[in-house]
């Protein structure tokens, strides 16, 4: 998919926003949803999306939505830091298929990094189940409180 791809209202994140698909939520407001990545690259890997914007990537997002998304990403990253105590945190955004984007709804990855633990490849491996993600999400939610 190119950088000029039209928004698909049936993408997986749009389905999650509508409640048609499940997710393990970390944070939800009227505009923002943060949830555990089902293909986690490390323990605590979260995704942050804007619920109202239909931006496909970083290049077409509205400035106000980007500001809200960035502020929420910082809030989630802080909660990951305090809730999970990683040695570092990567904040990543992929725009376009060639860059590694696999879901064409703008999203930002919050990826904790732990010393001595290899970070898995992006969008690889088997999906995690909600039961294994929930205890990790609970620690992040507690740090948000």
| Nearest alpha-carbon partner for 42 in 78, 79, 82, 84 | 84
Q: Which of 45, 50, 105, 107 is catalytic?
A: 107
Instruction: Specify whether 50 is catalytic.
Output: no
Q: 């923002």: which residue's tokens?
A: 32
- How far is residue 27's CA from residue 119's CA, in Å, rounded to a whole number? 24
| Nearest alpha-carbon partner for 7 in 38, 51, 53, 49 | 53
Give the strands of the sheet with 107-113, arranged side by side: 25-28, 32-36, 46-50, 107-113, 88-92
Catalytic center residues: 107
């Amino acid at each position: 998919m190119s950088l000029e791809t039209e928004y698909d209202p049936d993408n997986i994140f749009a389905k999650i926003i509508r409640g048609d698909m499940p997710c393990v939520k970390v944070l939800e407001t009227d505009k923002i949803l943060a949830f555990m990545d089902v293909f986690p690259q490390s323990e605590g890997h979260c995704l942050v999306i804007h619920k109202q914007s239909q931006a496909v990537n970083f290049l077409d997002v509205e400035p106000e939505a980007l500001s809200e998304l960035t502020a929420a990403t910082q809030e989630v990253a802080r909660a990951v830091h305090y809730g999970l105590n990683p040695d570092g945190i990567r904040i990543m955004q992929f725009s376009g298929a060639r860059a590694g984007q696999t879901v064409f709804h703008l999203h930002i990855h919050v990826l904790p990094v732990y010393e001595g633990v290899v970070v898995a490849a992006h969008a690889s491996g088997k999906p995690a189940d909600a039961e294994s993600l929930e205890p990790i999400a609970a620690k992040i939610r507690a740090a948000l409180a």
